[in-house]
Amino acid sequence: MNLLLVEDEPNVVSVVVRGLAAEGFNVSVAPDGHTGEKMALTNHFDLIILDIMLPGINGLELCKIIKKEKPNVPIIMLTALGSTENIVTGLDNGADDYLIKPFKFAELFARIRMLLRRYNGSTNPDQIINISDLQINLTAKNVKRGNNEITLTATEYRLLEFLARNKSKILSRIDILENVWDIDFNLGTNVVDVYVNYLRKKIDKNSDQKLIHTAVGLGYVLKES
């Protein structure tokens, strides 16, 4: 499950991301309203968590924008504004739920589960990861770059999916070996480098925007340039 958190308070970001990651969610973070708008409208998220008091576009306006374009994406307002008027305004602007800071993580997690159950089957039945013009359908296990279908071997697909699920995160060769091949790191193997090169030839070769990047001395990362 891919979640978007639009929040500018580092302490809240840390608590939410750490807690949801421990529950198996992949959480992307936007620190302001404009970034949140771009990420929400150009990527697939199963649920979005919004603060109201954000730099740039405030959470209420952002909620309206997202719901207009993607009405089937559940949104939770997570804010310090806790008056009845604030809550009514948030719900009137399209929010599905409203949680007041300070909050207990267990309550946030319960509300996320409730909304995901409610929306299950009414959203996109396929789980999709979009990064730039790269689209990975996790249900059908097929891949497109722009309008072009890309044929991958099973191992190439597992590698791409792992990189995509960890978008913008530098992954070491150890991380990749343990998660894609399920083997312990062997200093003598270059299997990761070989398969990354295979992927590059299929994913990036005919595109001006390269998505698979080398972090020298650290590993690899899939991200928009």
Q: Are strands 47-50 and 26-30 parallel, antiparallel or unpaired?
A: unpaired
What pLDDT band is residue 83 in, cutting at 50, 70 and 90? confident
Instruction: Please tell me whether residue 4 adopts helix, strand or coil conformation.
Output: strand
Higher pLDDT, 203 or 154: 203
* pLDDT above 80 (res 185): no
Q: Encode pLDDT of 127-164 as tens digits.
A: 788 898 999 998 888 999 988 999 998 889 989 999 99
CA angle 56, 62, 63 (to 5 degrees): 155
Residue type, 89: T
Q: Are strands 47-50 and 2-6 parallel, antiparallel or unpaired?
A: parallel
Residue 94 · residue 67 · CB < 8 Å: yes
Please give the pLDDT value at position 124: 47
Residues 6 or more apart whose CB falls under 8 angstroms from that of 173 comprise 185, 192, 193, 219
pTM exceeds 0.75: no
Please give the pLDDT value at position 123: 43
